[in-house]
Structure formats: C-alpha cells, structure tokens
Amino acid sequence: MTKGKHKLYSSLEKLLPVASIILYLAIALSSKNFWLNFGLGVLWSLSNIILSKIAHRELFSSSKIMEAVKILFNMVYVGLLSVWGESGNLFWMLLMLPMLRAQFVFNSDRHTYLSLVFCTFTPLFFYLSFGLTDRQVIFHPTLVLMAFSMILKMSYDFLEKQYDQIEHAEKMATIGRMAANIAHEINNPLTIISNNMEILERRKAKGTLGEAASDQIIADVKSTIFRMAAIIESLKKYSCGGPKDKMVEVTSSELIEEALYFCREKFKSSDIELIYDNQCPQTLVFCRPIELSQVFLNLLNNSYDAIEAFPQKWIKISAFEKGNALIFKIEDSGPGIPIKERENVLQPFYTTKEVNKGTGLGLSISKEILEAHQGSFYIEAAKDRTVFVLELPLKNA
C-alpha cells in the first residue's frame, strides 16, 4: 500500500464512526424521503467499500480475530434460524441466506465472507433500531441500493479473481511450451560434457593426456556447466517472476537474449531462420526484465505457430532507438493477421488460433506489461505481414 492510500484510510477510519452516527440519524428522520435515502444509500455504499478495504487490511492479518468474529456471527445465525423456525416469516429466511452462503467461503475468501455478513446485519439493524416492519426493511430504498452495490462489488471481485487465475494459467502454459526447448538447451551441453569425458578417458588410456590438453578440456566443461546453470536460472526467474520484481537497468541485448535462451534450439530443429538485427545492443532501459521476457516469449511462440507449416520460415527481431524510445519489432514470414482483426487480437480472450491452442490472453497481457512500463505495444499499420512493435522509454528519457 502506498503512503498516500495509507493516510487516506487512516483519516477515513477516524471519520467513519462519526459519519455513521450522522447517517443513521438522517435515515431515521427522513424515512419517507426517497431521494434523500437514495443519496444516503450511495454514501453508505461507498463507505462500505472503504470499510471492507480496512477490514481486509486489519482483520485478515490475524486468524484468531477472524475465528472469534466467525463464532459471534454464527451465534447470530443460530438465533435467526430459531426465530424463523418459530415465526415462519419469509423476512427471517431472507436475512439468513447471506450468512448461510458465508459459511462456505470463510476459509477461501474472507473478504467475501465479511461482505455477506454485512448483508445480514444491515437489514437487522434497520429492523431493530428504527421500528420498521419487515416489509419496510426489505423494500427500503437505501437497503435496495446497498444490496445492488454489494452484488456488483462481489461480482467484480469474482471476475477479477477469475482473470488473475486465467492470466496465471497463460503464464504456466508458456512455461509448458518452453519445456521442449529447455530439453534441447540442456541436452546439447550434456553432450559436450560427455564427449569431453570420453576424450579424457581415451587419452588417459593411451597415456597421451598432456597438461595443456587436460586444462583445455576442464575449461570447456566448466564453461558448459555455467551455460546450463544460466539456462536453469533463467527458467527459475521466469517461473517466479511477477509484479513484485524490482525495476533494474538492462541493455536491449540482455532483454532479447533472456527470451532467446528458450527458443534457439526449437527454431533450429524446425528449420526456422532467426534474423537478429540489434542496432543499439548497449542501450539501457529501466524495467522488470522477467516481465518483458514473457512478452518476447509470447510473441516468438506466436510466430512459431504461425509459420510452422510454411515452406519459407523466418522470424526477424530488430531493435533501434527512435527519439526517447527503444523500439523492438518482431516480424515473421507467416500470412499475417487480417487488418479487420488487428484491433481485436489485443483484447482479452480473443484468439485466432485453433481450439485448445490458445487462451486469447497472451497479447493482451503483453500490452498490459508494456503500458505498465510507460511504453506501448501495437501492430504496425500498412504492412502485409504482421509486425508487432514494442516501445520502451529510454532510461534517461
């Protein structure tokens, strides 16, 4: 949480108790004024969102507090169940429904749990405090508006979590596609080590193993081991990377090489020509390199899928400076994305691939990552082929 937000929430925590008392009194004195109640309902809905953020920050840090809160709420739930059983009144059953649902989400989503409990306690407060009948409580304009705001908020939270899960699945799918490439990358160094060991054994058996030759073989083996370690470290960083990665200085060549670690052997085994034209290899940018590697991997994998079945197969990566920006372009020999679909492919869940071959999130995630770096991501206009363009601000821009 930023300092500004922390100060805002601290101020609201001090003001909300007083504001709540004033709000309750205003509602009690103006129960016949629909529009005033409507306005108060808006204020109450906003305060509910703020209170839920405060609760999320403070209460969730202590499982013991939440367990105690759950026990108290369950006591109220049992009481409501008893009253409903005796009266048979629909009002009491409606009050219980949110708390009944809350029992199933306590362990998985405590934010939603508190929101559901709030849906029960607010009508109950109206019923006990203002002397309203059950029908007046159910159809009170303030409560109706609050109910809608709560439903919208819970729907938004649910959709946000679903999107996060799908975004994570897209990243895991990318890692899965990298598995074959990693096998190639590690298999080659292992072959080099194995060949060097055979040379050592043969020369030792013949008695022709000189000091200079053995030193050279040892140096080759060490270099190969370092290469394997670098490959594994790249995969480790990529699989664990995310929004918490630190912003660091990297060169344009380092950005591209990180992604190419996982693609070179795959391209080579599929007879794909890789054209790499970096006109500014030492240009510095301030970024989260793991996130940008994800962007390059998404684009390179898309290019691979597009040209795999074509007789002419090539992928071109170019980098150059333009004004205060570092520009990357990725182009391939594929048929390209039709002009009428170019705007849509950058939207979430839109894909031109076959069923089960893509989630439709790769390009939209790439766009989000570039925009989070104060850059831009787009498809170059007036080109027969598809050319993806990545723009990043230079470090000193």
Q: Look up the CATH number of the domain holding residue 327.
A: 3.30.565.10
pTM greater than 0.85: no
Q: How far apart are CA 101 and CA 106, in angstroms?
A: 9
Does the structure show a pLDDT above 90 at 390?
A: yes
Establish if 122 belongs to a structural domain. Answer: yes
113: tokens are 């749990």
Number of domains, the chain: 2
Expressed in angstroms, the distance from the first to the final Cα of the chain is: 27
Establish if 207 belongs to a structural domain. Answer: no
Establish if 221 belongs to a structural domain. Answer: no
22: tokens are 């004033």
Structural domain harbouring 255: 242-393
Return the top range by mean pLDDT from 26-30, 96-100, 134-138, 237-241.
Answer: 96-100
Higher pLDDT, 216 or 87: 216
pLDDT at 326: 92
* Weakest-pLDDT range from 70-74, 115-119, 322-326, 371-375: 70-74
**DSSP-based three-state secondary structure for 386:** coil
Task: Answer yes or no: do 19 and 148 share one domain.
Answer: yes
pLDDT at 28: 47
Q: How far apart are CA 117 and CA 154, in angstroms?
A: 13
Q: What is the DSSP pairing of strand 273-278 with strand 314-322?
A: parallel
CB-CB contact of 267 with 304 (8 Å): yes
Instruction: Please tell me the total number of residues recorded for the chain in this structure.
Output: 397
Does the structure show a pLDDT above 90 at 328?
A: yes
Computed over every residue of the chain, the mean pLDDT equals: 68
User: What interhelical angle do 289-307 and 141-206 show, nearest 10?
Assistant: 80
* Weakest-pLDDT range from 19-23, 108-112, 119-123, 303-307: 19-23
Beta-bridge partners for 377: 390
Task: Answer yes or no: do 388 and 269 share one domain.
Answer: yes
Does the structure show a pLDDT above 90 at 137?
A: no
Return the top range by mean pLDDT from 27-36, 70-79, 194-203.
Answer: 194-203
pLDDT at 357: 53
CB-CB contact of 255 with 292 (8 Å): yes
Establish if 34 belongs to a structural domain. Answer: yes
- Of 101, 132, 164, which closes a domain? 164
Establish if 235 belongs to a structural domain. Answer: no
* Weakest-pLDDT range from 122-131, 341-350, 386-395: 122-131
pLDDT at 279: 86
Does the structure show a pLDDT above 60 at 14?
A: no
* Weakest-pLDDT range from 106-120, 172-186, 333-347: 172-186
For residue 152, what are the contacts with CB-CB under 8 A and spacing of at least 6?
none
Q: pLDDT band for position 75 (50/70/90)?
A: low
Task: Answer yes or no: do 145 and 291 share one domain.
Answer: no
Q: What is the mean pLDDT of residues 270-287?
A: 87
- Of 101, 134, 164, which closes a domain? 164
User: What interhelical angle do 34-58 and 141-206 show, nearest 10?
Assistant: 30
Task: Answer yes or no: do 9 and 158 share one domain.
Answer: yes
Q: Which residue has the tokens 């504001």?
A: 19
For residue 375, what are the contacts with CB-CB under 8 A and spacing of at least 6?
325, 390, 391, 392, 393
pLDDT at 247: 83
pLDDT at 13: 47
Task: Answer yes or no: do 264 and 154 share one domain.
Answer: no
For residue 126, what are the contacts with CB-CB under 8 A and spacing of at least 6?
132, 137, 140, 143
Task: Answer yes or no: do 247 and 366 share one domain.
Answer: yes
Task: Answer yes or no: do 159 and 249 share one domain.
Answer: no
265: tokens are 């052997």
Alpha-helical regions (H) of the chain: 3-29, 34-58, 63-87, 90-102, 110-129, 134-138, 141-206, 211-240, 252-260, 264-269, 289-307, 362-372
The predicted-structure confidence for 334-373, as pLDDT tens digits, reads as follows 877 767 776 766 665 556 555 445 555 667 778 888 888 8
Measuring CA to CA, which residue among 192, 145, 184 is closest to residue 265? Answer: 184
pLDDT at 355: 46
**DSSP-based three-state secondary structure for 330:** strand
Q: How far apart are CA 243 and CA 236, in angstroms?
A: 16
- b/e sequence 48-57, b meaning 16+ C-beta within 10 Å: beebbbebee
pLDDT at 17: 46
How far does Cα 164 stand from its chain's mean position? 5
Task: Answer yes or no: do 156 and 33 share one domain.
Answer: yes
Establish if 37 belongs to a structural domain. Answer: yes
Torsion of CA 347, 353, 354, 358, to 10 degrees: -60
- Of 164, 192, 216, which closes a domain? 164
Establish if 225 belongs to a structural domain. Answer: no
Establish if 236 belongs to a structural domain. Answer: no
Return the top range by mean pLDDT from 144-148, 156-160, 376-380.
Answer: 376-380
For residue 294, what are the contacts with CB-CB under 8 A and spacing of at least 6?
171, 174, 238, 241, 365, 366, 369
Does the structure show a pLDDT above 70 at 307?
A: yes
Task: Answer yes or no: do 250 and 384 share one domain.
Answer: yes
